[in-house]
């Protein structure tokens, strides 16, 4: 009965629940579905973890900034995690704490212990002392360099090389060496160090983690600082101090702190370790021996001796000064009188110098006036110089230079009023003067009139008198119109000179004689025989021809042509013919023939026996 009642109740409640659901949908709508989803999320723990994972780090950061409760709460958890990590893998935690624990331990030790060693900076003295001379002899005897011998005798220790070696592979990562170090191949050295460590580890019974710390080879000591992933080795000459071992340990820790990931993943590429090269170079330390300086007794003795001599000299000087003081007092009267006389003489000297200066200036003014009066000379400016005076102006090329008509001015010296010569410095610029005297002088230079011609110029009229040829008459007509200041030509007294028949015949005869002559050369010879009288005779005839044609105003032109035989090339024969003509021309010039009337022809003829120089003289 009871089960039937329950079934009846369930069947009756099911329609009621459906009705209630429809009522909820009508009242709440879509919000009801959202409430159902929210209830599902609350009842599902996995969904809570996903939501919290997205904000857990930000939440921890915000909480840590508010108070210290977060660290208090997490401390037990972190301690338990560290304990479990140490129990399971202690080496991993030791490697992680290695770069941090070392500096902390050393800092505490340095605070408890006093510094036992000090570093001294010394300069390498270069002198001629017996010690340094002995070192030079040792360098010569042993074949070492002088700097190396000095280094060995003055250094207490020096780190010559530092190696950074990969702990697992034994490959060289970085290497640094001192400037004066005697080094071998760094890769070979690193390989040998790794081999030595492996040999010791394999040959002897050593505890886990133990390694070779120091290796001594004569004067050299190798300090080895081993880390989790790399080995730092330093080659030291001399006795290394304890500070050096600490420095290597600090450097090793710094390298592992900065390059831990690179060391773990090292596969043979050493390029990333360049950025820690400065850490390795910082280990290249050195310290020189402290020199115990003895007291300079010799210096003290010399100083006392000098002071004694100075005191004695001072006493003698004081005594002599007292004696001289009495003598000086007796001489003061005479000195005062002498000073008075000197002042009188100086005043007289100043008066004489002033007078001499005035006379000098007046004399210079007179000379400037004389320069301005000279035709073709124009003085523009005058200045006083240290040596005398400086004159600047214009000077016609045909005018007389002032040096030729202005004498040197006598100047008074301050020492004793003695006359000295002071050169006047002339600075002239060339110009063409239009003064009648210079115009007339230039006409004589340009026209070159015969000796019978007289030229004059006055009031713009250029007068010509005398006898000249027709050629010179044409030159006169072409020139006088370009003369400055000339307006008219007066040639009423100019007579035309007619050449005489006998003169013309003599000229023609001389021309024929000159043109018929030839000077013969030997085969291959281009120079003139100095003993020959040929050119002496020819030069005499040419000079006579010049004298005869000068009367008639005619000009003479001599053309020399060199000849060769038919032997040789055309170019060689042409060179020989020109050289023969040039030598003949030079000889005629030395005999007094004007160079302006002699020319050379290059049209020489090569014949069988034409090794000669021919003449062609003409008058026009």
- 15: which 2 tokens? 């329609």
- Distance in angstroms (rounded) separating the CA atoms of residues 73 and 573: 124
235 and 194 in a common domain: yes
Instruction: Choose among 591, 576, 593, 585: nearest CA to 615.
Output: 585
Work out whether the CA dihedral 603, 607, 612, 618 comes out positive or negative.
Answer: negative
Does 184 lie in the same domain as 281? yes
Instruction: Round to whole Å and give the CA distance between 123 and 144.
Output: 21
Name the residue with tokens 């010509």: 464
User: Does residue 18 fall inside a structural domain?
Assistant: no
pLDDT at 559: 93
Indicate whether 229 and 177 sit together in one domain.
Answer: yes
User: According to the 3-state scheme, what is the secondary structure of 59-109?
Assistant: HHHHHHHHCCHHHHHHHHHHHHHHHHHHHHCHHHHHHHHHHHHHHHHHHHH
Residue 473 backbone zone (phi > 0: left; psi -120 to 50: alpha; other: beta): alpha
Q: What's the angle, vertex CA 227, arms to CA 223 and CA 232, rounded to 5?
A: 35
pTM of the model: 0.31
Q: What tokens appear for 355 in the block?
A: 């007078």
Residue 139 has a CB neighbour count (10 Å cut-off) of: 16
- pLDDT at site 557: 94
Q: Looking at residue 528, which CATH number applies to its domain?
A: 3.30.1330.60
Name the nearest CA neighbour of 224 among 238, 210, 204.
210
For residue 204, what are its two tokens? 């002897």
Identify any residues that bridge with 513 across adjacent strands, giving them in sequence order: none
b/e 545-567 (16+ beta carbons within 10 angstroms → b): bbebbebbbbebebbbbbbbbee
Residue 65 lies in a domain: no
For residue 282, the Cα-to-chain-centroid distance in whole angstroms is 36
DSSP state of 424: P
The whole-angstrom distance between residue 524's C-alpha and the CA centroid of its chain comes to 58
**Are 169 and 275 found together in one domain?**
yes
Please answer whether residues 392 and 427 qualify as being in contact, where contact means their C-beta atoms are separated by less than 8 angstroms: yes
Residue given tokens 């007066």 in the structure block? 490
Contacts of 614 (CB under 8 A, 6+ apart): 515, 518, 560, 561, 563
pLDDT of residue 500: 59
User: Is residue 475 domain-shared with residue 527, that is, in the same domain?
Assistant: no
What are the Cα distances from residue 4, in Å, to 8, 11, 12, 14?
6, 11, 12, 16
Asked which of 428, 462, 496 is the last residue of a domain, the reply is 496
Helices (H) and strands (E) in the chain, counts: 18, 20
Task: Chunk the chain into consecutive blocks of 10 residues (it has 620) and report each block's average pLDDT, rounded to whole numbers.
Answer: 44 66 69 72 69 71 65 67 78 72 69 48 46 69 68 73 88 86 70 69 61 81 89 88 88 90 88 89 80 60 86 88 83 76 76 76 82 88 83 89 71 42 78 88 88 88 84 83 86 71 78 90 85 86 84 85 84 88 91 91 68 90
Tracing tokens 């710390």 back to the chain, one arrives at: 213
All residues at 6 or more sequence positions from 7 whose CB lies less than 8 Å from its CB, including other chains: none
User: Looking at 288, 317, 352, which one is the last position of a domain?
Assistant: 288
Short-list 314, 400, 410, CA closest to 362: 410
Specify the residue for token string 């000889």. 587
- For residue 240 the two structure tokens come to 């290394």
Q: What is the CATH number of the domain that holds 477?
A: 3.30.1340
Planar angle of CA 313, 314, 317, nearest 5 degrees: 85
Picking from 261, 288, 315, the residue at the C-terminal end of a domain is: 288
Residue 334 lies in a domain: no
Residue 221 in tokens: 């000591």
* Alpha-carbon distance values, 486 to 22, 440, 599 (Å): 147, 10, 38
Backbone dihedral region of 136: left (phi > 0), alpha (psi from -120 to 50 degrees) or beta? alpha
* Cα end-to-end distance, the chain, whole Å: 181
Residue-number span of the structural domain to which 549 is assigned: 501-619
Under 8 Å between Cβ of 463 and 457: yes
Residues 276 and 154 in one domain: yes
In a domain, 100, yes or no: no
Q: Which two tokens stand for residue 309?
A: 């001599």
**DSSP run (H or E) holding 129:** none
What's the 3-state SS for 328-374? HHHHHHHHHHHHHHHHHHHHHHHHHHHHHHHHHHHHHHHHHHHHHHC
Task: Return the CATH number at 197.
Answer: 3.30.450.70
Give the whole-angstrom CA distance, residue 252 versus residue 246.
10
In this structure, is residue 240 part of a structural domain?
Answer: yes
Contact 126/146 with Cβ under 8 angstroms?
Answer: no
Distance CA 316, CA 286 (A): 57
Cα separations (Å) of 64 from 55, 80, 81, 392? 14, 21, 20, 100
| Residues 147 and 249 occupy one common structural domain | yes
In the DSSP assignment, the letter for residue 290 is: P
Which tokens hold the place of 152? 């060995």
Residues 184 and 269 in one domain: yes
Residue 153 lies in a domain: yes
Is there a single domain that holds both residue 478 and residue 556? Answer: no
Is 585 contained in some domain? yes
With CA atoms as reference, report the closest residue to 178 among 192, 163, 158. Answer: 158
Q: Decide: helix, strand or coil at residue 607.
A: strand
Question: Residues 616, 567: contact at Cβ < 8 Å?
Answer: no
Answer yes or no: do 146 and 185 share one domain: yes
Q: Phi/psi of residue 605, each to 5°?
A: -100, 135
My answer on whether 581 and 474 are in the same domain is no
Please give the tally of structural domains in the chain: 3
Report in angstroms the alpha-carbon separations of 316 from 147, 299, 305, 319: 53, 26, 17, 5
- Is 470 part of a structural domain of the chain? yes
Q: Which residue, chain included where needed, has tokens 């120089």?
A: 613
180 in Cβ contact with 152 (< 8 Å) = no
State CA 88 to chain mean position distance: 71
Residues 509 and 475 in one domain: no
Give the containing element (helix H, strand E) for 55: none
What is the length of the chain? Answer: 620
Rounded to an integer, what is the distance from CA 399 to the centroid of its chain? 52
458: β partners: 461
In this structure, the strands spanning 606-607 and 564-565 are parallel
């Amino acid at each position: 009965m009871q089960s039937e009642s329950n079934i009846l109740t369930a069947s009756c409640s099911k329609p009621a629940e459906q009705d209630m659901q429809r009522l909820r949908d009508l009242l709440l709508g879509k919000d009801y579905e959202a409430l159902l989803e929210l209830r599902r999320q609350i009842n599902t723990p996995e969904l809570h973890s996903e939501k919290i994972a997205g904000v857990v780090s930000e939440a921890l950061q915000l909480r840590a900034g508010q108070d210290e409760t977060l660290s208090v709460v997490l401390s037990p958890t972190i301690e338990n995690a560290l304990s479990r990590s140490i129990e399971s893998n202690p080496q991993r935690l030791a490697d992680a704490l290695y770069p941090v624990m070392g500096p902390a331990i050393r800092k505490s030790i340095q605070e408890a212990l006093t510094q036992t060693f000090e570093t001294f900076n010394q300069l390498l003295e270069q002198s001629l002392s017996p010690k340094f001379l002995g070192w030079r002899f040792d360098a010569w005897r042993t074949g070492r360099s002088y700097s190396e011998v000095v280094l060995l005798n003055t250094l207490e220790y020096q780190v010559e090389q530092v190696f950074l070696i990969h702990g697992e592979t034994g490959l060289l990562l970085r290497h640094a060496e001192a400037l004066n170090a005697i080094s071998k191949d760094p890769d070979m050295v690193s390989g040998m160090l790794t081999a030595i460590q492996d040999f010791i580890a394999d040959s002897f019974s050593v505890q886990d983690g133990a390694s070779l710390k120091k290796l001594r080879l004569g004067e050299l000591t190798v300090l080895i600082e081993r880390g989790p992933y790399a080995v730092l080795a330093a080659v030291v000459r001399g006795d290394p101090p304890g500070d050096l071992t600490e420095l290597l340990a600090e450097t090793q820790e710094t390298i592992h702190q900065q390059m831990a990931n690179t060391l773990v993943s090292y596969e043979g590429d050493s390029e990333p370790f360049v950025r820690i090269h400065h850490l390795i170079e910082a280990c290249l330390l050195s310290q020189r021996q402290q020199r115990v300086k003895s007291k300079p007794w010799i210096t003290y003795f010399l100083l006392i001796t000098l002071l004694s001599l100075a005191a004695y000299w001072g006493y003698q000087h004081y005594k002599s000064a007292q004696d001289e003081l009495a003598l000086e007092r007796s001489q003061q009267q005479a000195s005062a009188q002498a000073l008075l006389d000197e002042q009188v003489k100086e005043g007289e000297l100043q008066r004489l110098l002033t007078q001499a200066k005035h006379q000098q200036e007046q004399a210079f003014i007179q000379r400037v006036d004389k320069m301005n009066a000279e035709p073709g000379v124009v003085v523009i400016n005058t200045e006083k110089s240290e040596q005398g005076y400086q004159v600047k102006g214009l000077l016609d090329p045909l005018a007389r230079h002032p040096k030729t008509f202005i004498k040197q001015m006598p100047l008074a010296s301050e020492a004793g009023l003695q006359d000295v010569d002071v050169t006047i410095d002339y600075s002239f610029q060339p110009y063409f003067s239009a003064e009648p005297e210079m115009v007339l002088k230039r006409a004589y230079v340009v026209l070159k009139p015969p000796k019978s011609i007289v030229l004059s110029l006055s009031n713009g009229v250029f007068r010509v008198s005398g006898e000249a040829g027709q050629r010179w008459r044409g030159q006169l007509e072409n020139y006088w119109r370009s003369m400055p200041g000339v307006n008219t030509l007066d040639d009423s007294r100019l007579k035309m000179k007619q050449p005489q028949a006998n003169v013309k015949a003599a000229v023609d005869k001389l021309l024929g004689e000159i043109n018929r002559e030839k000077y013969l050369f030997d085969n291959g010879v281009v120079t003139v025989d100095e003993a020959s009288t040929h050119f002496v005779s020819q030069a005499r005839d040419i000079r006579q021809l010049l004298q005869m044609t000068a009367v008639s105003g005619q000009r003479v032109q001599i053309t020399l042509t060199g000849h060769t035989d038919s032997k040789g090339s055309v170019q060689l024969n042409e060179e020989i013919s020109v050289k023969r003509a040039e030598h003949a021309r030079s000889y005629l010039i030395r005999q007094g023939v004007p160079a302006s009337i002699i020319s050379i022809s290059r049209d020489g003829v090569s014949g069988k026996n034409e090794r000669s120089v021919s003449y062609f003289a003409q008058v026009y």
